[in-house]
Amino acid sequence: MERPQTEKAKEMLQITGLTHSYADGHRAIDGLDLTVPDGQLLSIVGPSGCGKSTLLRCIAGLLRPTSGTLTLNGAPINGVPDDLAVVFQDYSRSLFPWLTVRDNVALPLRRRGMSRKERRAAAQEALASVGLPDAGRKYPWQLSGGMQQRVSIARALAYRPSLLLMDEPFGSVDAQTREDLEDLVLQVHRTQKITILLVTHDIDESVYVGDRVVVLNRSPARVHADLPVGLPSGRDQIETRGLPQFVQLRAEVGRLVRGGAKVPGAAPASGGRG
Amino acid sequence: MSDKTTPPRGLSRPGKWARGAAGVAVLFLASEALGRAGIVDRSFLPPASSVTARAVELFGDSDFLSNVRVTLTAWALGLAIAVAIAVPLGLLLGSVPAVNTAVRAIVEFLRPIPSVALIPLAGLILGSGLNMEVPLIVYACCWPILFNTMYGLHDVDPLAKETLRSFGFNRMQVLIRVSLRSAAPFIATGVRLSASVALILAVGTEILSGFGDGLGMFIAQAGTVPEGTRDVLAGTVWAGCIGLIIDTVLVQAENRAFRWHLAQRSGAS
Ligand SMILES: Nc1ncnc2c1ncn2[C@@H]1O[C@H](COP(=O)(O)OP(=O)(O)O)[C@@H](O)[C@H]1O
Ligand SMILES: [Mg+2]
């Protein structure tokens, strides 16, 4: 079916037939198709080891796919795209311990051709936007895990990407911090209008945060199911999680992640009919 | 001396100092007693107090000081050149596997040769003075720095490199901004090890080469005159103190510059 021109221009990321095999012959992704429209917050769920990180690394241009095509804003991904940032799960290894928090956030901005003063100002602004206005002079290892992950989010935001990839970003923080960070991502998405791909193995999180949930197969990864999340956009940790729609969708995603078959029409349609 | 020592040693400093001071005191008193009691001939082993007095006296001796300056010049020049050669070479060997395998054989052949064994050869080829001292020091100092650089690069977290790469930095930028920075504590340890090697070689070549200037020369010449033992020992005390000061300063600098490294090691990792 031919799409109208205007809609086509809104596709930010287009993945067709993506396959990736590691050097040892292990096939992590096998013929994955995925299209992400501009401005969407897409949750990608799948069991651990199914190939989620491999998928993100291919999108980020850090891994060269064995076959298949990836295009970002219409241009094929060949090397690391310019307006893309990644937040890794392992914040303590992803932040540079020899740099202060502010310099960690400011470092990538060298690629933006900004002066030292501009970089520092942008870093400070990004730190304030994630709730860490006073942490700039500290070193990453002087902060708690949740604060460190906020710093790496700030670093990604300061870079002003149009596509933000997050690889299980809240996998190693406590429950309370996790909820705060989920809300931070929702707020960032609302205010900055960037496209976000959030990889998680947490089913509740995928539904709570996402506009849409893509469930991946057990290894090798392929799209197993693709569900719109019809929840109201103003989300609240207690209220939203109590909605019958949320409970139903979570159960459905859970069933799919465990390998359950797709039941046509079982996914709640967007708009909330219930 | 090991090539791979864990960088900045953050031991309890007061304890270390107390033990060191106690050791020196015991040695001092023993030699003092031996010398004064006449158990050993005075000209053979002068009492510690007279050696110390002579060492202090030398501090005002301009001839002696210019000798020390020659030795320190050779030391600094040799060490600096070694850093300039070994760090880039280590970066190359540590980050390009193909070069590494190619150079490995040469390295394995050269490394076991004790540098001191090269002094006569260097004397034949290079003559004497700085001309001969500096290349020898450079040669000896390259090894610890080279190996520590390579070891440090091996230890760089791949995720840290990947992070910078994900922001579009190229290989060279990642090498400098992540790999080199991350390996810096190991490199610094290599430099500290080399600093003592350099001093040993500077003094050693001067003693063995027979003529010229330097602290080693002063010691060697004092040994040829009667009653010269006091000067030999005073010069040796100076060599020891210089070595101690250099090591202390470098350890302090490491602890200060690589606080992040210590914090990481003692942290959750
Ligand atoms: N560098 C690698 N070499 C070989 N196999 C790998 C490598 N990295 C990951 N894998 C394998 O690929 C599969 C997918 O890994 P990954 O994408 O990290 O999964 P996930 O992020 O979903 O947990 C796993 O089976 C993993 O063991
Ligand atoms: Mg993963």
Are A108 and B264 an interchain contact pair (Cβ–Cβ within 8 Å)?
no
Nearest CA to ligand 1 atom 9: A54
Question: What's the predicted TM-score (pTM) here?
Answer: 0.85
**In testing the pocket of ligand 1, which one of A19, A27, A53 has its CB within 8 Å of the most ligand atoms?**
A53
Q: Which chain A residues are Cβ-neighbours of B168 within 8 angstroms?
A: 80-82, 108, 111
Instruction: Note whether B160 and A94 are within 8 A (CB).
Output: yes
Please state whether beta strands A11-21 and A67-72 pair in parallel, antiparallel, or not at all (unpaired).
antiparallel
Ligand nearest to the CA of A55: 1
pLDDT band at A270 (very low <50, low <70, confident <90, very high): very low
Instruction: Note whether A217 and A254 are within 8 A (CB).
Output: no
Q: What share of chain A is helix, strand, coil (3-state, %, to 5)?
A: 35, 25, 40
Instruction: Note whether A158 and A108 are within 8 A (CB).
Output: yes
- Is the predicted pLDDT of residue A1 greater than 50, yes or no? no
Q: Provide the shortest C-alpha distance from residue B163 to chain A (in Å).
A: 6
Are B182 and A108 an interchain contact pair (Cβ–Cβ within 8 Å)?
no
- List residues bridging with A225 in a β-sheet: A215
Q: Give the pLDDT confidence score for residue A218 in this predicted structure.
A: 86
Positive or negative, the Cα torsion across B246, B249, B251, B253? negative
Q: Give the pLDDT confidence score for residue B2 in this predicted structure.
A: 42
Nearest CA to ligand 1 atom 7: A22
Residue identified by tokens 């302090």 is: B252
Q: Give the pLDDT confidence score for residue B12 in this predicted structure.
A: 59
- List residues bridging with A167 in a β-sheet: A199
Nearest CA to ligand 1 atom 14: A51
Instruction: Note whether B217 and B206 are within 8 A (CB).
Output: yes
**Secondary structure class of A197 (helix, strand, coil):** strand
Q: Which protein residues touch ligand 1 with a CB less than 6 Å away?
A: A 22, 24, 26, 28, 46, 48-54, 219
Per-residue pLDDT of chain B (269 residues; tens, 9 = 90+): 444 444 445 455 667 778 878 877 887 888 788 777 777 776 777 788 888 888 888 888 889 999 999 999 999 999 999 999 999 999 998 888 888 788 878 888 887 888 888 888 888 888 778 888 899 999 999 999 999 999 999 889 999 999 999 999 999 999 999 999 999 999 999 999 999 999 999 999 888 876 778 999 899 888 888 878 888 999 999 999 999 999 999 999 999 999 999 887 776 44
Taking the C-alpha atoms of residue B185 and residue B265, their distance in angstroms, rounded to an integer, is: 12
> How confident is the model over A167-219, as pLDDT tens digits?
999 988 889 999 999 999 999 999 988 999 999 989 999 999 999 999 998 87
**Secondary structure class of A187 (helix, strand, coil):** helix
Report CA-CA distances (Å) from B165 to A15, A17, B109, B111, B172. 22, 25, 37, 35, 10
Taking the C-alpha atoms of residue A156 and residue A150, their distance in angstroms, rounded to an integer, is: 10
Domain residue ranges in chain B: 69-268
**Secondary structure class of B155 (helix, strand, coil):** coil
Mutate to test the interface with A, among B156, B159, B167 (most CBs of A within 10 A): B167
Mean pLDDT over residues A250-271, rounded?
Answer: 72
CB-CB: which of B159, B168, B263 is closest to A80? B168
Quote the ligand 2 centre to B175 CA distance (angstroms). Answer: 25
> How confident is the model over A122-181, as pLDDT tens digits?
999 999 999 999 999 999 999 999 999 999 999 999 999 999 999 999 988 889 999 999
pLDDT band at A116 (very low <50, low <70, confident <90, very high): very high
Q: Residue A6 carries which side chain, given as an amino acid letter?
A: T
Positive or negative, the Cα torsion across B205, B211, B213, B214? positive
Nearest CA to ligand 1 atom 25: A49
Closest atom of ligand 1 to CA, residue A201: 22
- Who's near B87: CB < 8 A, 6+ residues apart? B145, B149, B187
Q: Is B15 on the interface with A (CB under 8 A)?
A: no
**Secondary structure class of A269 (helix, strand, coil):** coil
Percent of chain A with pLDDT over 90: 77
Q: Which chain A residues are Cβ-neighbours of B157 within 8 angstroms?
A: 93
Quote the ligand 1 centre to A111 CA distance (angstroms). Answer: 30
pLDDT band at A117 (very low <50, low <70, confident <90, very high): very high
Ligand nearest to the CA of A26: 1
Are A85 and B166 an interchain contact pair (Cβ–Cβ within 8 Å)?
yes
- Is the predicted pLDDT of residue A14 greater than 90, yes or no? yes
Q: Give the pLDDT confidence score for residue A105 in this predicted structure.
A: 98
Q: Give the pLDDT confidence score for residue B269 in this predicted structure.
A: 44
Quote the ligand 1 centre to B34 CA distance (angstroms). Answer: 71
Mean pLDDT over residues A261-270, rounded?
Answer: 56
CB-CB: which of A85, A98, A141 is closest to B167? A85
CATH number corresponding to B69-268:
1.10.3720.10
